């Protein structure tokens, strides 16, 4: 089994054996892939280091690198069906969602392809005719990219596209649960014109195949998307060699609904915000914070709608949402719900696996609503990363903001209201990296994405997303070099 891409060659595992990839919707075997160890990752780091230190990529003119990314976008569009199918088999998500993801990924390649080379640095006025000073942007070096399973290729390309645009080389370690589209990506990048050694891929578990990317002295930057606990381990490991670190971590995202919001719209978004991809979305609207006077009517309608959601596998045209990623993850969600109920939450619907025999081999879990959760309880503090909506109630604007900000996370949030001034006021006061007004989930490649507080460090997307992968170097030249003679004793 040769699934690692190192130095432009497909190679097999040195010692790690293989791992079965199974579709979470029915447990069927998708493939066996090579399981990497520390040695495999070290070989990939060596290849990326050599390609950076002696290869052509860092000094390739930035517009040429940009053209290669534009070509990658085109190739992805041509291969969309293959990529989308592979993504759905690994994740269990609906094919139509994987197809949307591929469109978003092509847009991301295009955005960074066009951005590459747009900023060639600047001349700085020294005020001194005998000095010349300029700032140039250079690639950081070898990047270690570690990505999760919920949007496997999307999260990966949010890193790969700016890293390549800026002239870096990289080693990618995707989630061990969802490797396929990253394997396909290596061939696509090669076909687009990325030189050998620039893009490297290893597969396997985090502590074995991923950890060297945060520890090895030859890696200059580690960019990680995943859970908070793993992010802390990676940041601590990266500190030993003072790597540049970017962390895109979890969220516990508030969705604030005022009584004056359009009722049907707000209910519809509340449902989509949490139950899309069975809640396995970092920006999922997992905390519904609703104004007291509409609480009963609003929650009743959310529950009614949640009970109508049709579960199904990736290729079931009637399915509206799919399974959880693994048996272990479903157990984690079950434990979260049990703890919430112990702490006083009222289960309004769901809270169990579906009884239908059709789902017995997959990792399905019913859309769940937990009402009357207490502020400060586990249910509102911890990410379940499953189809579980918690409900809190507020009295007025100040109360809404205070409750919505009472979390150590700060990834995203939304406010629903028909009062335009209040919408802006509340959006200004919410301490989360992305705020939606009367909407949920849209993001743009040209606008930054990243977390406040413990949701992360550093930005993806947008022009400063590219800057994450660049060093800004100030070059100052004295045009009349000679002795300074600052100290009279030296005369
Ligand atoms: P995870 O932290 O378990 O794993 C993420 C990646 O880290 C995987 O590739 C894993 O193999 C690797 N890993 C694990 N331990 C490691 C170690 N010691 N050293 C190096 N790598 C290691 O997360 P997950 O379960 O795959 O993903 C779900 C989490 O990701 C959720 O918390 C979700 O909110 C978050 N997420 C955040 C964003 C965002 O944009 N902020 C986007 C998607 C997902």
Q: Does the residue 455 lie in any domain? A: yes
Task: Please tell me whether residues 132 and 242 are part of one structural domain.
Answer: yes
Q: Is 248 designated active site?
A: yes
Instruction: Choose among 399, 342, 352, 349: nearest CA to 373.
Output: 342
Tens of pLDDT along the chain (491 residues) come to 568 999 999 998 888 789 999 999 999 999 999 999 999 999 999 999 999 999 999 999 999 999 999 999 999 999 999 999 999 999 999 999 999 999 999 999 999 999 998 988 999 999 999 999 999 999 999 999 999 999 999 999 999 999 999 999 999 999 999 999 999 999 999 999 999 999 999 999 999 999 999 999 999 999 999 999 999 999 999 999 999 999 999 999 999 999 999 999 999 999 999 999 999 999 999 999 999 999 999 999 999 999 999 999 999 999 999 999 999 999 999 999 999 999 999 999 999 999 999 999 999 999 999 999 998 899 999 999 999 999 999 999 999 999 999 999 999 999 999 999 999 999 999 999 999 999 999 999 999 999 999 999 999 999 999 999 999 999 999 999 888 888 876 54
Q: Does the residue 176 lie in any domain? A: yes
Ligand 1 centre to CA of 226 (Å) is 2
Q: In this structure, what CATH number is given to the domain that contains residue 419? A: 3.40.309.10
Ligand 1 centre to CA of 434 (Å) is 20
Task: Please tell me whether residues 234 and 347 are part of one structural domain.
Answer: no
Task: Please tell me whether residues 32 and 150 are part of one structural domain.
Answer: yes
Which ranges in 92-124 belong to alpha helices (H)? 95-115
* Domain count for the chain: 2
Task: Please tell me whether residues 334 and 463 are part of one structural domain.
Answer: yes
Q: Is 307 designated active site?
A: no
Q: Catalytic: which of 248, 301, 392, 460?
A: 248
Instruction: Choose among 176, 235, 52: nearest CA to 44.
Output: 52
Task: Please tell me whether residues 214 and 283 are part of one structural domain.
Answer: no
Last residue within a domain, chosen from 207, 233, 248: 248
Task: Please tell me whether residues 329 and 462 are part of one structural domain.
Answer: yes
Task: Please tell me whether residues 318 and 215 are part of one structural domain.
Answer: no
Task: Please tell me whether residues 458 and 386 are part of one structural domain.
Answer: yes
Cα(first)–Cα(last) distance of the chain, in Å? 73
Q: Does the residue 491 lie in any domain? A: no
Q: Does the residue 149 lie in any domain? A: yes
Backbone angles phi, psi at 238, to 5 degrees: -70, -25
* Structural domain for 98, as ranges: 4-248
Ligand 1 centre to CA of 178 (Å) is 12
Q: In this structure, what CATH number is given to the domain that contains residue 40? A: 3.40.605.10
The answer to whether 156 touches 200, Cβ cutoff 8 Å, is no
Task: Please tell me whether residues 207 and 281 are part of one structural domain.
Answer: no
The answer to whether 25 touches 92, Cβ cutoff 8 Å, is yes
Task: Please tell me whether residues 200 and 275 are part of one structural domain.
Answer: no
Ligand 1 centre to CA of 222 (Å) is 13
Torsion of CA 323, 326, 328, 334, to 10 degrees: 0
Task: Please tell me whether residues 235 and 262 are part of one structural domain.
Answer: no
Q: Judge if the beta carbon of residue 223 lies within 6 A of ligand 1.
A: no
Q: Judge if the beta carbon of residue 206 lies within 6 A of ligand 1.
A: yes
Is the full-model pTM beyond 0.95? yes
Q: Does the residue 101 lie in any domain? A: yes
Query: Helix, strand, or coil here: 401?
Result: helix
Task: Please tell me whether residues 296 and 431 are part of one structural domain.
Answer: yes
Q: Does the residue 482 lie in any domain? A: no
Q: Catalytic: which of 143, 282, 382, 397?
A: 282
Interatomic CA distance for residues 161 and 73, integer angstroms:
10
Q: Judge if the beta carbon of residue 168 lies within 6 A of ligand 1.
A: no
Q: Judge if the beta carbon of residue 313 lies within 6 A of ligand 1.
A: no
Q: Judge if the beta carbon of residue 251 lies within 6 A of ligand 1.
A: yes
Q: Judge if the beta carbon of residue 156 lies within 6 A of ligand 1.
A: no
Last residue within a domain, chosen from 248, 268, 297: 248
Ligand 1 centre to CA of 225 (Å) is 5
């Amino acid at each position: 089994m040769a699934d690692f891409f190192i130095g432009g060659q497909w190679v097999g595992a040195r010692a790690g054996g293989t791992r079965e990839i199974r579709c979470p919707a029915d447990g069927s075997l998708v493939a066996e892939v090579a399981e990497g160890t520390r040695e495999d990752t070290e070989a990939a780091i060596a290849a990326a280091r050599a390609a950076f230190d002696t290869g052509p990529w860092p000094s390739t003119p930035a517009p040429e690198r940009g053209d290669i990314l534009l070509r990658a976008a085109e190739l992805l569009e041509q291969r969309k069906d293959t990529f989308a199918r592979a993504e759905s088999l690994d994740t269990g998500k609906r094919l139509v969602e994987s197809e949307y993801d591929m469109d978003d990924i092509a847009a991301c390649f295009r955005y960074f392809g066009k951005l590459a080379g747009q900023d060639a640095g600047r001349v700085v006025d020294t005020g001194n005719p005998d000095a010349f000073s300029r700032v140039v942007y250079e690639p950081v070096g070898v990047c270690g990219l570690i990505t999760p399973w919920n949007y496997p290729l999307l999260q990966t390309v949010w890193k790969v596209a700016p890293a390549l645009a800026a002239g870096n080389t990289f080693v990618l370690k995707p989630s061990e649960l969802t490797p396929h589209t990253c394997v396909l990506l290596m061939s696509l990048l090669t076909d687009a014109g990325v030189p050998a050694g620039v893009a490297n891929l290893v597969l396997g578990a985090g502590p074995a195949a991923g950890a060297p990317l945060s520890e090895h002295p030859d890696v200059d930057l580690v960019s990680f998307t995943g859970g908070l606990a793993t992010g802390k381990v990676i940041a601590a490991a990266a500190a030993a060699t003072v790597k540049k670190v970017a962390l895109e971590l979890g969220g516990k995202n508030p969705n604030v609904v005022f009584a004056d919001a359009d009722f049907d719209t707000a209910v519809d978004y509340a449902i989509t915000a949490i139950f899309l991809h069975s809640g396995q979305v970092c920006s999922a609207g997992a905390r519904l914070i609703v104004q007291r006077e509409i609480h009963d009517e609003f929650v009743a309608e959310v529950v009614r709608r949640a009970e109508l959601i049709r579960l199904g596998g990736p290729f079931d045209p009637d399915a509206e949402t799919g399974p959880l990623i693994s048996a272990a993850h479903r157990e984690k969600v079950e434990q979260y719900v049990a703890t919430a109920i112990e702490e006083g939450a009222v289960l309004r619907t769901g809270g169990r696996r579906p009884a239908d025999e059709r789902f017995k081999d997959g990792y399905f879990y019913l859309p769940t609503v937990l009402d009357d959760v207490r502020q400060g309880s586990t249910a509102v503090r911890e990410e379940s990363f499953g189809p579980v909506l918690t409900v809190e109630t507020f009295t007025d604007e100040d109360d809404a903001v205070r409750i919505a900000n009472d979390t150590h996370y700060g990834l995203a949030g939304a406010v629903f209201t028909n009062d335009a001034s209040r919408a802006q006021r509340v959006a200004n006061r919410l301490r989360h990296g992305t705020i939606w007004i009367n909407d949920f989930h849209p993001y743009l490649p040209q606008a930054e994405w990243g977390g406040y507080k413990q949701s992360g460090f550093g930005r993806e997307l947008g022009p400063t997303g590219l800057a994450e992968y660049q060093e800004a170097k100030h070059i100052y030249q004295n045009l009349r070099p000679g002795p300074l003679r600052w100290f009279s004793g030296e005369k």
